[in-house]
Amino acid sequence: MPNITEILPRYTRLNILISEISDSRTIEFEQQRFISDFYAQFSYIQPLEAMLIELVAQTEAEQSGVLLQSLGREIQRNVQLISANRQTLENIDVKQACEKFAKQYDTPIANQIHITQEIWIEYQKVDNSLDTIGFRKHTEQEEKRLWEKHEELTKRYKDEKKVLSQLYDQQKDVETTVRKYIDNKFGVLLTLSQTFSDILEKYLPKAETTPQNGVYFDMSLISAIHKECNDEQFENISELDLYAILNLLPSSGQFIIKNGERNRVYYLIHKLYERLPKETNQTWRTAILQSLQLKERTYLSKYRTAKGDSSTPELEKFADNLDELFKEFES
């Protein structure tokens, strides 16, 4: 059964690697090995849930809550990273990285073959000289030197052949290892993290979100958003109701997202989140997602779609328009 102090730092490391791979659009074999090993180790759901049950049962609520929230953040981060870069990650040439790793012994083997062959050629010359020495005039010292050289070259040849054999064995081991890591794991990792997130949600302490006093956004910004999005991304609603809902104030209006418009609404929430100071933006985002009955995990995996590799021209145009709208209200 995994331990949270084991899985948490490995998730942190996994997210660092995925960020590096997304930026470089390439993967090294050791990165691929870590990712594949991570998936192999944590791909069984039952041990994870058993770990969470044990943690909650045997650890003080405050301590377990901190650990679970830390794990939750890393899992959400993983979902967000893979979702935002999914097309790039799934097109990463894992096979090329594995082949490069498998060929690491090609040059040492070629060099060792050259060394071994040179000794063999020299050995044959001495051996031939010994075969013919009896048919020509020679001294005892000359014959002795040839036998000493023959013995030396025999030993060197055996030693170098042993080195070559070891290199071939190492190359075979590497080729066997590489075959375990040849598959691209980013798609199944995303599914795994989404499943982890759903399971973890059952054990996370439910914290009440308390909005700040006053309002988050002024009426001029809300009015501009209303003009851009009303009856487009969400069902028709008055400016006053939209102002109340986005500021987490009581309202009789309903914010109903139209079919096919969720990704645009996610991007709108993201832009509003970015506009708020760090000390309040997380509280606001959690509360607004709850009020709109949107899962934070889904939001984190989808809000970048508008600017991501899988964006459509229409979605990208909406995002550009919204970016321009928010620029007009920058202080």
More confident residue, 234 or 133: 234
> In angstroms, rounded to a whole number, what is the distance separating the alpha carbons of residues 258 and 238?
16
Residues 151-173 pLDDT 10s: 889 899 999 999 999 999 999 99
Count how many Cα atoms sit within 13 Å of the Cα of residue 312 in the half-sphere of its side chain: 7
pLDDT of residue 213: 53
First vs last C-alpha separation in the chain: 52
Residues 279-309 pLDDT 10s: 888 889 988 998 888 888 888 888 888 877 7
Reading the block at residue 35, the tokens are: 């990712």
What average pLDDT does this structure show over 221-248?
Answer: 92
Model confidence at 185: pLDDT above 90: yes
Residues 45-86 pLDDT 10s: 888 788 888 877 777 777 777 788 888 888 888 988 898 888
296 burial (CB, 10 Å; 0-12 / 13-18 / 19+) is: middle
Count how many Cα atoms sit within 13 Å of the Cα of residue 109 in the half-sphere of its side chain: 13
- What would the 3-class secondary structure string for 67-133 be? HHHHHHHHHHHHHHHHHHCHHHHHCCCHHHHHHHHHHHHHHHHHHHHHHHHHHHHHHHHHHHHHHHH
Residue 214: strand, helix, or coil = coil
Q: What is the pTM of this model?
A: 0.60
Reading the block at residue 243, the tokens are: 């102002």
